[in-house]
């Protein structure tokens, strides 16, 4: 039987982290030159949106690796 996770979609495990992640996303978008704006950003290309998420993951992995060494 498949688990239904739809009730958890869009929720963060630590609600206080939501604002920090928003600021992180804005910072990365700025570094990449992606015109991220407040609210709806559906006009971004898939490449632009993906570059933000990809760079965020890359930075989080680098930080974790630094902490582990």
Q: Is residue 19 part of a domain?
A: no
pLDDT digits (tens, 9 = 90+) for 3-49: 455 555 567 778 788 899 999 999 999 999 999 999 999 999 999 99
Smallest CA-to-CA distance from 32 within 8, 14, 50 is with 50
Q: Is residue 69 part of a domain?
A: yes
Q: What pLDDT does 13 receive? A: 79
Contacts of 43 (CB under 8 A, 6+ apart): none
For the entire predicted model, the pTM comes to 0.74
Q: Is residue 50 part of a domain?
A: yes
Q: Could you list the residue range(s) of the whole structural domain that residue 61 is in?
A: 27-34+45-69
Q: Is residue 66 part of a domain?
A: yes
Q: Is residue 10 part of a domain?
A: no
Q: Is residue 64 part of a domain?
A: yes
Q: Is residue 5 part of a domain?
A: no
Q: Is residue 59 part of a domain?
A: yes
Q: How many domains does the chain fold into?
A: 1
Mean pLDDT value of segment 38-65? 96
């Amino acid at each position: 039987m498949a688990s239904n996770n739809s009730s958890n979609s869009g929720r963060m495990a630590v609600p206080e982290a939501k604002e920090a992640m928003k600021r992180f996303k804005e910072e990365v978008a700025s570094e990449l030159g992606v015109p991220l704006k407040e609210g709806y950003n559906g006009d971004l290309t898939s490449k632009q949106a993906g570059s933000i998420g990809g760079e965020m993951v890359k930075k989080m992995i680098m930080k974790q690796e630094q902490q582990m060494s």
